[in-house]
Amino acid sequence: MSADGTTDAGGPGGREGGRGLAVAVDEDTGVAVLTLDRPHRLNAVDLATAAELADTWRAFRFDDTVRAVVVTGAGQRAFCTGIDRDAQVPQPSSPYMVDDPLATIGPKANDLWKPVIAAVHGMACGGAFYLLGEAEFVVADETASFFDPHTTYGMVSAYESVYLAQRMPFGEVARMALMGTAERISARRAYEVGLVSELTPPGGAVAAAVACATVIASYPADAVQGTVRALWQAQEATRAAALAHAPQLVSLGNLPGARQTELFAGRRPGGFRTR
């Protein structure tokens, strides 16, 4: 889901990347840190940033100096809040087709089989799960919270629910998807249900993720990538079959865009509980 346009200062920088991303590669350790660098939009992904993400994952495939990746978000308030609500995405007129602007923002969608660890702080919601769902595991600090706002704003949670169903018990996924903006999952609860593999004090997620990535990157690359492929192969058939149905569900179940915008514009601060 989208950012609300409020500003947020600060955040990690990078030596490379485009206007929406920062990329820093430590060639000694083989670890790259990929940062969504739009804190003023709560790291919501616009179309240009979506294209940058796909290009970056593909570039990592051919960069032998990169053996493991940490993905995170700039600023203090959010890891990622999904698609930027200002993004204009033309859609086909057929109810059997939908063009999802976030479909290729994840590493696996770009055939990258080097290990990816997500480091989460602040909000992670909606389209953030395209990234979390294609990471090998998630590290979060105590400020992290997770929710899926789609149903609140008249949209089907299809892709997000499929990704989360690979990570969490069915009842937890169903509750998150159906409760919308009324409820957020705390970092502690996310750790308890298996979405998060390690919980750190505030501000500690990136360092913890980099520490894990450094260990993994020190191992023989072919063995690591083969293990990553084996892990995903164990669940790929189910995931691929489920994702194949997602476009039709979104196309048939979403409210018209104008009505979604009305609902989003009418939101009120607060009004949710955290569990």
| 102-125 tens-digit pLDDT | 989 999 999 999 999 999 999 999
Prediction pTM value = 0.81
| pLDDT tens, position by position, 246-267 | 565 555 555 666 665 676 676 6
Residue 35 forms beta bridges with which residues? 22, 72
DSSP percent split of the chain into helix, strand, coil, nearest 5: 40, 20, 40
Nearest to 114 by CA among 62, 68, 179: 68
Which are the contacts of 184, defined by CB distance < 8 A and separation ≥ 6?
A: 145, 146, 147, 272, 273, 274, 275
CA distances from 69 to 20, 118, 177 (A): 17, 8, 28
142 CB-contact burial (10 Å; exposed 0-12 / middle 13-18 / buried 19+) = middle
Q: Which residue has the higher pLDDT, 85 or 110?
A: 110
**What's the pLDDT tens digit per position in 192-239?**
999 999 999 999 999 999 999 999 999 999 999 999 988 888 776 666
Domain 21-201+220-266, what fold?
Answer: 2-enoyl-CoA Hydratase; Chain A, domain 1 (3.90.226)
Rounded to 5°, the CA angle 66-102-39 comes to: 75
Sheet holding 137-141, edge to edge: 21-26, 31-36, 68-73, 116-120, 137-141, 198-200
For residue 255, what is the DSSP state? Answer: P
**Proportion of the chain above pLDDT 90, given as a percent:** 63
Strands 123-125 and 145-147: parallel
Local structure of 44: helix, strand or coil: coil
Query: Quick check: 135 and 212 in contact, CB under 8 A?
Result: no
Share of the chain above pLDDT 70, in %: 75
Sheet order of strands, 145-147 included: 78-80, 123-125, 145-147, 183-186, 273-274
The secondary structure of residue 195, as a DSSP letter, is: S
Contact 107, 86 (CB under 8 A): no
Q: What is the pLDDT of residue 91?
A: 63
